[in-house]
Structure 1
Amino acid sequence: MSLTLMTRRDPFAEFDAMIRRAFPARPFPVRTGSAMTSRLAAFAPAAEIVRDGDDALVKLDLPGLDFEKDISVELDGASLVISGERRDERTDDSDGRSLKEFRYGAFRRSFTLPERVTADALSASYDAGVLTVRVAGAYAGSEPQKITITGGKPSGTVDSDTVEVGPVESGNAADEG
């Protein structure tokens, strides 16, 4: 009995090549298409942001990582930065794998948070291969506030007929000559 490795044709490969040719210099990496598009692509975990009341839950799919040594969660200014690395622990190329689709390498995901969020509002947990970062109060005060419109002049305004304007002094030395 022999094992035959079949390679599937990626229907997005031609489209991806066209996009890369049209936009060679992008300020951020963009992947259009399936996981088969690039065998050399760096590991980029999938993310999901879910609203939980006033809190935001940022979830990253990180199966097989040791959260104590492979994952870092930081607040950098107004950015939640999640970084880490998935390592291929096997060093022997003849280890019996005939198909390699797992992605390995360093990753870094950054999410912009409201300015009011501090490190005290963040908590992280890792369960069943999913990293969850709770951002307490991320949505607090984010609902639009209705402002009542009234008729007439706004209070505290000055009637333009009673305003006296004195001479305007110029601070420009060229005007004094």
Structure 2
Amino acid sequence: MSTITRYRSRDPRFFADFDAIVRSTFAGQPAETSAEALAFTPTAETVRDGDDVVVRLDLPGVDVAEDVSVEVTNGRLVVAGERKDARAEESAGRSVREVRYGRFRRSFGLPGHVGADAVSAHYDQGVLSVRVAGVYAGTEPTKITITAGTPVTDEA
């Protein structure tokens, strides 16, 4: 018998469970349904810059040197870490908590020709920028000329 969980409006557990379902369905990531495991998911954007792609993640207040890793694993760019609440003890009794803390993991597919040596990362003013060089190299279409007349055959 399955259990039905009832959530109140704006209950953060609802969004954590929904995020887990979406990740497992569309991104091929394992479904984690605990609110603590998915409490913080940094927003991300990808931007084309010439032949490169730049992935930007909003990580304000995160110590990237200690709490964030950027890796290339199985053809995927994986940014994982944790946003820690340094004031957890002093704010344990607060009743409104809009800032999210916890572990996070974001994963982005890479083309087969891109390796770890093409990846570099930079953190400035709360934004982690990960540049993946050469993602779009050689992806421009090649125009094929159409000729009229007798078709070309392999017979000699």
TM-score, normalised to structure 2's length?
A: 0.71
Q: Aligned partners of 2:155, 2:23: CA distance in 1, in Å?
A: 50
Identity of aligned residues (%): 53
Match of 1:100 in 2: 97
**SS of the residue 2:139 aligns to:** coil
In structure 2, the gaps of 5 or more residues are 1-8, 27-34
Change (3 A) 1:121 1:27: closer
Larger C-alpha radius of gyration, 1 or 2?
A: 1
Match of 2:155 in 1: 158
**Mapping of residues 26-105 of structure 1, within 5 Å:** 28=24, 42-92=39-89, 95=92, 97-105=94-102
- Give per-residue Cα distances to partners, 1:130-158, cap 9 Å, x unaligned: 00001111111122211122343335x13
In structure 1, the gaps of 5 or more residues are 1-8, 31-38, 160-177
The runs of at least 4 aligned residues of structure 1 exceeding 3 Å deviation read: 24-27, 93-98
- Give the residue type in structure 2 aligned to 1:147: I
- Give the residue type in structure 1 aligned to 2:103: A
RMSD of Structure 2 on Structure 1 (CA): 2.9
**Mapping of residues 111-122 of structure 1, within 5 Å:** 111-122=108-119
Change (3 A) 1:143 1:108: same
- Give the residue type in structure 1 aligned to 2:152: P
| Aligned residue pair count | 133
TM-score, normalised to structure 1's length?
A: 0.64
